[in-house]
Amino acid sequence: MPSAVGSKSVTRSEILEMMSEKEKLEQQLKTHIDVLQSHRVGMDDPLVDEQDFPRNDIDVYQIRLTRNQIICIRNDLKAIMDRIEKSLNAYFTQGNGNESDMVNGHCSLKPDH
């Protein structure tokens, strides 16, 4: 993903777009965690029994796939949070805190409705 923070200025709409992307990732993460919970398995539970055979009470393939997707989404979420942090810092240091962005004297990035 190209960085929104660089030599160009950061706009409010770019930050809102990143925040929307973050919310989508959080929803995907919740969905995948719900899949694990439906199987009564966490991220660290063993997928083999005491004799090192795959457990027959769970869908091992689906659990491994879901765990992998969770790890990938967590990495993406960390990256987007870092981009949002840098973008917010750049946004407010470049002097974009217009009166239109102020709510009760405080800066706001809430979407316009």
Long-range CB pairs of 66-73 (<8 Å, 24+ gap) are: 66/32, 66/35, 66/36, 67/36, 67/43, 69/28, 69/32, 70/29, 70/32, 70/33, 70/36, 70/43, 73/25, 73/28, 73/29, 73/32
Domain segments of the chain as ranges: 12-103
Say what the pTM is: 0.74
- pLDDT, position 9: 80
Instruction: For residue range 65-77, list pLDDT tens digits in order.
Output: 999 999 999 999 9
- b vs e for 15-28, b when ≥16 Cβ sit within 10 Å of the residue's Cβ? beebbebbeebeeb
- pLDDT, position 7: 47
Contact 1, 85 (CB under 8 A): no
